[in-house]
Amino acid sequence: MKVLSFGTYDRTSPRNTQVISCLRGAGAVVVERHREVWGRHNWSPGPRTLAKLARAEIALARVRDDDADVILVGYPGHADLAAARRVAAGRPVVFNPLVSLADTAVGDRGLVSARSPVASALRALDRRAFRSADLVVADTEAHAAYFREAFDLPADRVAVALVGAEDALFRPGEAPAGGERFHALFVGKLIPLHGLDTILAAAALVPDVPFVVAGDGQLAPLLDGRPSNVEHVPWIAYETLPDAYRRAGCALGIFGTGAKAARVIPNKVFQALATARPVITADTPGARELLTHELDALLVPPGDPQALAEAVRRLREDEALAARLADAGRSTYEARASEPVLGARWRALLEAAVRR
């Protein structure tokens, strides 16, 4: 099978790199026809970005690859579907959106008003993109249900493949020097669904337990008044993330209370599971698709600092529990989200799209 990975997808997004890696591991030939627009999660709607996107779409519409079996449009390629359909010339187009742009900008991040022209434009772009694809691949069943309802899609046009992590990078190993002290690690872009306010409030309830918050983003100003036991690391290079997880006593997922937070399992959870670190994350429909409380993770109510603080303290004081959750979490990862498993899943989905 030959797959044409097509569009302006973000090459720094683990979702995109993971899918390509999984497909190649499953024996598919993946050829990239990519135009750089978004860089490192650049969602700026400014004139320069829009002009760059317009030039990219013109160039993409001229792409020809007559022997590809299927066209795969990655995240955030919502504007790429028109060009993808033109290039496909009757072959199936599979969309890996990760998110709805309007849901992210309006409902999750609150960057634009729901009644604004920008919000209307994003909703229209979403609808055209999702309805133009022959198959939409969501990251959880909860997200798939949302896509079906939001865009009036037939059940058989939406499938699910988990996010996973890069197996060659995220794997168990000895903690490097400096990992002797127990601390809770959060890694992320500090967007609302992550629940940074809950993490900081939890840290204040256990002042004797160190927390490390790694990342920057929309809610970074909340860190200005952070508790004294919270260290802020603005950036960790991607290739060194596994060592950061291995140093940590436990890894934190997301704790936001919004609708989108309930539907997703973030990259950080898969990465922590892959490196065999005990995970604490919110008890949501999305998380329950993969994890079981007390079996392979600790699940706490969203937006509940007290419950999060108690879970962190449990793992610090009960080394046997932490080790058991770490081992079970790694087993869950291998069985459900490792590259061989997801590679077989993605290849099967694309082959089915071709047969249809």
Q: How confident is the model over 313-336, as pLDDT tens digits?
A: 999 999 999 999 999 999 999 999
Average pLDDT over residues 218-241: 94
- What is the crossing angle of helices 81-88 and 117-132, to 10°? 20
> Edge-to-edge strand order for the sheet containing 2-7?
29-34, 2-7, 70-73, 93-95, 135-138, 158-160
Given a cut of 90, whether residue 39 has pLDDT beyond it is no
- How wide is the angle at C-alpha 21 spanned by C-alphas 78 and 334, nearest 5°? 110
Q: Which backbone phi and psi does 34 adopt, to 5 degrees?
A: -120, 145
Average pLDDT over residues 197-219: 96
Does the N-terminal peptide bond of residue 210 adopt cis geometry, omega within 30 degrees of 0? no
User: What pLDDT is stored for residue 178 in this prediction?
Assistant: 60
User: For 118-159, what is each residue's pLDDT tens digit?
Assistant: 889 999 999 999 999 999 999 999 999 999 999 999 999 999
Per DSSP, the three-state class of 34 is: strand
* % of the chain surpassing 70 pLDDT: 97
Residues 263 and 283: their CA atoms lie apart, in Å, by 11
Q: Exposure of 122 by Cβ count < 10 A (0-12 exposed, 13-18 middle, 19+ buried)?
A: buried
CB 215 within 8 A of CB 247: no
User: What pLDDT is stored for residue 199 in this prediction?
Assistant: 98
How confident is the prediction for the chain on average, in pLDDT?
A: 93
| Contacting residues for 92 by C-beta, under 8 A, at least 6 apart | 70, 71, 134, 135, 350, 353, 354, 356
User: What pLDDT is stored for residue 109 in this prediction?
Assistant: 82
| Contacting residues for 3 by C-beta, under 8 A, at least 6 apart | 23, 28, 29, 30, 31, 68, 69, 70, 72, 350
Neighbours of 142 (CB within 10 A): 21
- What is the crossing angle of helices 319-336 and 339-355, to 10°? 30
Domains of the chain: 2-164+339-355 (3.40.50.2000), 184-336 (3.40.50.2000)
